Structure 1
Amino acid sequence: MQANGWEQVTGWEEDDLAAAWPALRHSCSTLSRRAPWQKVCDAAASIGPTPSGSTVRRFFEHHFAPWRVFNPDGSTTGLVTGYYEPLIRGSRTRSARSAWPIHGVPADMLTIELGDVHPELKHLRLRGRLVGNKVLPYWSRGEFSARAEGIPAPVLFWADDPLDLFFLQVQGSGRVQLPDGSMVRVGYADQNGHPYQSIGRWLVAQGELSLDQASMEGIKRWARDNPQRLTALLNANPSYVFFRELPAADGGPLGALGVPLSAGRSIAVDPRYIPLGAPVFLASTYPLSERPLNRLVLAQDTGGAIKGGVRADFFWGFGPDAGREAGRMRQQGSLWVLLPKGMAPPKP
């Protein structure tokens, strides 16, 4: 990272910074217990819940310093995608209609924290299974699905549609509408340790779709037209996400920081480069557009596909409108992480 002046932050003067204040307060509910953040979070608490935009601007310029984020190759731009909280239909009991399991974490899956052995690997972990006296990789998506009934993984719910369930796993959290019309929330609990692979890119490589057709809606249309190939499509992504049922609550889903995400003001980042909870200024564009999207956001989540310095996943909110925006967002952007004055940036 490189220290910048506020005048070097693209779009800083254009944003309605007050709109990010609730997200900052969410971050402070966790960060205030950490020494570098305690002073600024105490100052934020003293301002109250609804300050003016000018007050928020003075607060940030007084307490924070902007640091431009770089990629390992020295470049300053990177990919900005979008995600959202989907709604899928399902049931607590299996039926002909609700036949695809939403699994909790398997009891036989091991999690090995490599940082416990080598501190320089503190951000890396392995998932595996014990076979005799050997630890082998945990089952891939295709292997897990084929063996699911013999694996000690609880079933939380049964989904009506396998493709909707797949996209729920890609998003990492969502809501399940039950037959009586009520809704329950599920959130990310763990993952099988296999890397995420884009099924859109798989379809492009197969010559089934062009790159501009490989959006969420384009993939769904292809799946409806090719039901006999749905299993092969889904298994092209070996990653498999396990969920937990969350208590009913207002606001957004819980991100990796453990606080509710704010629509349009939360992003997922790679925590090796950007500290979780930190304010970040994003300079990008709206989906399929050159219209500037320059906005103060909070780094409150992570994701399996979010790797690198200048890399962000923008949280659009809940429901189909948010899903449409998220599904077509694949922009270039720049990031500035805002750190309390005197705090050094992390070393990846």
Structure 2
Amino acid sequence: MVHHTINTSNSKAPRASSKSKRMNRLLYPVLIGLIVGTLVACGSAPRQTPADRPSVPEVAAPQPVVVGDTSLLPGALLQAKSRWTPVRWAELPGFDDDALHEAWNAWVKSCERPGPVFAPLCSEVRRLSIGSGEEQRAWLVARLQPYRVDALSGSAEGLLTAYFEPVLEGARTPSAAFSVPLYQPPLGLAQRKPWFTRQEIDTQPSVQAALKGREIVYLADPIDALVLQIQGSGRVRITQPDGTQTVVRLAFAGSNDQPYKSVGRWLLDQGAVRDASWPAIKAWVAQNPGRVNELLWSNPRTVFFREEILSDLDAAFGPKGAQGVALTPGRSIAVDPGSIPYGTPVWLASPGPTARLQKLVLAQDTGSAIVGAVRADYFAGWSPSAAELAGRLKQPLRLWVLWPK
């Protein structure tokens, strides 16, 4: 950068004429302005050359995060159930450390059914799926603005839980070993809201007659059937009469519209357990086989399914969420759509104690128990460790939506 200066110390300079003096008086304020402007410019951060900027495939190179950024933030945004408060990128815990390529897989899935806000970005998102983490991070900073999700009451902290896709054994026909049916939606389900309760389904002959022929598979354990209904979908490994096995996915196809009641909460209120995790619930059932129906009927809600063929590609992802795209383990969350629209990239931070999570996720699903501004259900996958995490995760949560500038 060139510095413009004026030499005023030369005593040997000839005296100026009166005309020159007048010209000097006119030029003097202009020169002073040049000096001040130059000094201010030299005190700011130097411009980056194109070679200094991160290269993004076919996307204009964005400016990096400026330490101590003092640029003006946009205004807050009001949603039906939340208030979004603009923040700087430096406020996102762990933003520099996340393996963003894992989240990009989920984002590409969201671009199969994008909303109107994010659809214009999907071509760039797809191109960046082969970019480096640095390129993806730079693009986020250039194109999106983070907003902290606050409750309308002002609280920025909420609750994180997790869910998973169970993998169970089943059969096409009932037997002594496999006697618990899972059903397709009954005919006329839409004409009666709410439909019959779980207890009425199990005990009333007229309701059982309405479900006759709607069985998809039979499971061995009624608690496994309950788990699959609570999770909303699952994989069932079916052994055929000739000994071969096939794996199908049972996806959510409707419910009886009865209120959901937690069987874990019921056991806690009974003083039957101190730990309401699924391992503890199953242990209680093993010790109290005569009270299984009492436990099951404490939750009047039941879920109906549809069968989906599980291809090799489908097997690498979870079931379709409420957005209509397949869920990605560890990168998809269920939210309250009144707080966060489907397809929105979200920065999630939860300090533990079960799991410390600081990562980019996509809002791609919802659930009957997922209600409120700062509320998320974390899709853990379908492995035994996913089941363990889903059974135990219940901890504080903070969320930031990443919204197009």
Partner of 1:270: 336
The equivalent position to 1:245 in structure 2, one of 303, 307, 320, is: 307
Cα distance change, pair 251–339 in 1 and its aligned pair in 2 (3 A):
same
Equivalenced residues, count:
311
Q: Which residue type is aligned with residue 247 of structure 1?
A: I
Question: 5 Å matches for 1:164-175?
Answer: 164-175=224-235
1:14 and 2:97 matched: yes
- Other structure's SS at 1:156 match: strand
**CA-CA distance at 1:182 after TM superposition:** 2.2
**CA-CA distance at 1:59 after TM superposition:** 1.6
Q: Distance in 2 between matches of 1:60 and 1:234?
A: 46
Q: TM-score, normalised by structure 2?
A: 0.74
Partner of 2:320: 254
Q: Distance in 2 between matches of 1:205 and 1:224?
A: 19
- Higher relative contact order, chain-length normalized (CA < 8 Å, sep 6+): 1
Q: Which residue type is aligned with residue 336 of structure 1?
A: W
Q: Distance in 2 between matches of 1:55 and 1:307?
A: 35
| Contact 2:170/2:178 (8 A) holds in 1 | yes
**CA-CA distance at 1:287 after TM superposition:** 5.1
The equivalent position to 1:44 in structure 2, one of 113, 116, 125, is: 125
Cα distance change, pair 149–221 in 1 and its aligned pair in 2 (3 A):
same
| Contact 1:282/1:296 (8 A) holds in 2 | yes
1:52-77 CA deviation, whole Å, 9 max, x = no partner? 11111112112211121122332111
Of residues 147-156 and 326-335 in structure 1, the stretch that sits farther from structure 2 once superposed is: 147-156
Q: TM-score, normalised by structure 1?
A: 0.85
1:57 and 2:137 matched: yes
Larger Rg: 2
Q: Distance in 2 between matches of 1:256 and 1:184?
A: 20
After TM superposition, the runs of 4+ consecutive aligned structure 1 residues lying more than 3 A away are none
Q: Which runs of 5+ in 1 are unaligned?
A: 111-127, 130-135, 342-348
Partner of 2:57: none
Partner of 2:71: none
- Other structure's SS at 2:346 match: strand
Q: Which residue type is aligned with residue 333 of structure 2?
A: I
The equivalent position to 1:149 in structure 2, one of 189, 204, 208, is: 208
More strand by share: 1
**CA-CA distance at 1:254 after TM superposition:** 1.6
1:190 and 2:254 matched: yes
Partner of 2:290: 228
1:138 and 2:138 matched: no
**CA-CA distance at 1:286 after TM superposition:** 4.3
Cα distance change, pair 151–73 in 1 and its aligned pair in 2 (3 A):
farther
- Other structure's SS at 1:196 match: coil
Q: Distance in 2 between matches of 1:293 and 1:250?
A: 25
Partner of 2:67: none
- Other structure's SS at 1:65 match: strand
1:307-342 CA deviation, whole Å, 9 max, x = no partner? 11111111111121210111110111101111222x
CA RMSD of aligned residues (A): 1.6
Q: Which runs of 5+ in 2 are unaligned?
A: 1-83
| Contact 1:65/1:339 (8 A) holds in 2 | yes
| Contact 2:238/2:246 (8 A) holds in 1 | yes
**CA-CA distance at 1:181 after TM superposition:** 3.0
- Other structure's SS at 2:185 match: coil
The equivalent position to 1:105 in structure 2, one of 176, 181, 185, is: 185
**CA-CA distance at 1:11 after TM superposition:** 2.4
Partner of 1:302: 366
Q: Distance in 2 between matches of 1:235 and 1:156?
A: 22
Q: Distance in 2 between matches of 1:316 and 1:137?
A: 31
Question: 5 Å matches for 1:283-322?
Answer: 283-286=349-352, 288=354, 292-322=356-386
1:203 and 2:267 matched: yes
1:88 and 2:171 matched: no
- Other structure's SS at 1:178 match: strand
| Contact 1:23/1:298 (8 A) holds in 2 | yes
Q: Which residue type is aligned with residue 149 of structure 1?
A: Q
| Identity across matched positions, percent | 41
Q: Which residue type is aligned with residue 21 of structure 1?
A: W
Q: Distance in 2 between matches of 1:285 and 1:196?
A: 28
